[in-house]
Chain A
Amino acid sequence: MKYLNHLHLKFDALSINEGFARSAVAAFCVGLSPTLDDITDIKTAVSEAVTNCVVHAYPNGFGKIEIFVGLGKDFVDIEIKDNGVGIEDLEQARQPFFTTKPTEERAGMGFTVMESFMNDLKLSHNQSGGLKVFMTKKLQPKNLMASKTQNG
């Protein structure tokens, strides 16, 4: 078995669910005793991927987001997918500051943030044509509980 533990979530592509999604994934990872830095990196990357689904995947406003989390001994795999319209040019989408919605004050930094905060980022399309984001975070060996104890 590649993973010690799995989590599977499916929820509506609404911005109100972003906080839930990033907190749920972060809470699930706590079992591996990650550092606070690693947890914050994971939360941010999840938030970016979920935001993409909410903002871009479903122009009609309705759809689902699915998140799969697999915990290994010292790493976390996270897959976030939708059944939306997908992205025509995946390479272009990954470029910093690229956005298809320049009039909406969007930074175009979502994939750049995911790439910098995680150790690996793969983009592909699933059978329905929606986007699939696969990210891996290698956890630092430091123990979260130990650092809490040290701080008093």
Chain B
Amino acid sequence: MQVNAKTLNDTLYISLVGELDENSAGFVRENLDRDFSNTFCKQVILDLSNLSFMDSTGIGVLIGRYKKLKEKNIPIFLSNPSNHIDKILKMTAIYEIMPKLN
């Protein structure tokens, strides 16, 4: 599992690479929280194009990160989920709090 972050203008881009499940959740959570605490960005875009697998443990991780960013009034967006991850995200209504970018 990899969490790759870069800042461009006022946006923090984070790419998740690999499989997000119970085994990698702690690593992803820690890395995202560190990136969030070090940032002065105005928005976060989470790129899921290289996330090859995610189950509902990932939903818990995403909701947790949304709450942390909300405290700082920073919106977060999701981009490029695979069909199967898109299905899980829709099922759990995540896009209502983290809209999907087209």
Contact = CB atoms under 8 A, between A and B. Distances in A.
Nearest to A43: B53
Given A51-B55, A105-B61, A106-B60, A19 B91 contact: no
Contacts of A51: 21-22, 55-57
A15 B61 CA distance: 16
A15 B91 CA distance: 24
A54 B55 CA distance: 14
A83 interface: no
Interface residues of B, number: 20
B50 to A, nearest CB: 16
Contacts of B19: 19
Interface of B: 19, 21-23, 29, 53, 55-57, 59-61, 63-64, 83-84, 87-88, 91-92
List the 7 shortest-distance A-B pairs measured between CB atoms, nearest first. Answer: A105-B64, A107-B59, A15-B23, A109-B56, A47-B55, A15-B22, A105-B60
Given A37-B83, A112-B56, A117-B87, 10 more contacts: A18-B22, A18-B23, A40-B84, A51-B56, A105-B60, A105-B61, A105-B64, A107-B57, A109-B91, A116-B91
